Amino acid sequence: MKGIRCAAVVCAAGASTRMGGQVRKPYLKLLGRPILAWTLKALSKVKGLQQIVIVTRPEDRQAAQAAARLARLPRDIQPAFADGGARRQDSVFNGLKATAPECELVLIHDAARPFPSQQAMAEACAQARAMGAAILASRVKDTVKRETGGSPPVTLETVRRAGLWLAQTPQVFRRKLILELFERLARETPGREVTDDAAVCEAYGQPVALVESPPANLKITRPEDVLLAEACLKAGLINKKSKVKSQK
């Protein structure tokens, strides 16, 4: 990874409907600091990171700027901003177009994941540089059921969990590659909706490496997740190193 230049796109424009309340997830407090501040600080430690683009709703721009100040980013990383779109993929596309052309890699990350593993991110960057794309993910450990539908839902079958992963972020790509694929998606199938960025690669046959992520890379979605994240911080569990594995 010597000499490589990276940018990060942080998605902070979601509706936060599952959280409830009037404050969107990136601006809720963890030990007195906005979640977004924790997220930005973690990303700023990625080797070679030169730019962070924060994608926000226009009405949240001041709150995002305040969170960036609280993150105390290195002086050579000045946050840039882009407007959110109607869908997540539109927001990501806006953020990608705001990244600097000289950056070889781009990390796309959810603002509500404040504790990505440094070791896992470094491995994902290495895999993306080699293959073009890599994502953080965790293996499915619980028994998986498929439902029949209806109310209440009932089980239809048990799904074999071997080979199943839960996608996380950051998702890391060669910048030129992911921009071209997003442009192609918007041009050829603008109505197609994808739930993560790796799905754009999959749609066009681009391999995506899987990098196993430790449990601390939780996504804050519901109020109880805030309590869990604070408990992990207080217990000192966030900075403990975990073994990182990559799967192609």
Residue 48, token pair as written in the block = 């070679």
Does residue 218 sit within a domain?
A: yes
Evaluate the CA torsion angle 122, 227, 62, 21 in order and state its sign.
Answer: positive
**Which domain range does residue 24 map to?**
6-139+167-247
Query: What would the DSSP string read from start to end of 170-195?
Result: EEEEEHHHHHHHHHHHHHH-TT---S
Q: How many domains does the chain have?
A: 1
**Alpha-carbon dihedral 205, 172, 1, 44, rounded to 10 degrees:** 170
| Residue 28 is assigned to a structural domain of this protein | yes
Confidence check: pLDDT of 2 > 50: yes
Q: How many CB atoms lie within 10 A of CB 245?
A: 12
For residue range 25-63, list pLDDT tens digits in order. Answer: 999 999 999 999 999 999 999 999 999 999 999 999 999
Mean pLDDT score, 2-21: 79
CATH number, domain at 75? 3.90.550.10
- 159 within a domain of the structure (yes/no): no
End-to-end, the C-alpha distance of the chain in Å comes to: 19
Model pLDDT, residue 4: 86
Residue 155 belongs to some domain of the structure: no
Single out the residue of 217, 230, 225, 182 nearest to residue 39, CA to CA: 217
- Say if 103 falls within a structural domain: yes
DSSP 8-state assignment for residue 77: -
Q: What is the chain's alpha carbon radius of gyration, rounded to the nearest angstrom?
A: 18
> CA-CA distances (angstroms) from residue 69 to 8, 41, 115, 173, 229?
17, 10, 18, 27, 21
Q: What is the pTM of this model?
A: 0.92
Is residue 112 situated within a structural domain? yes
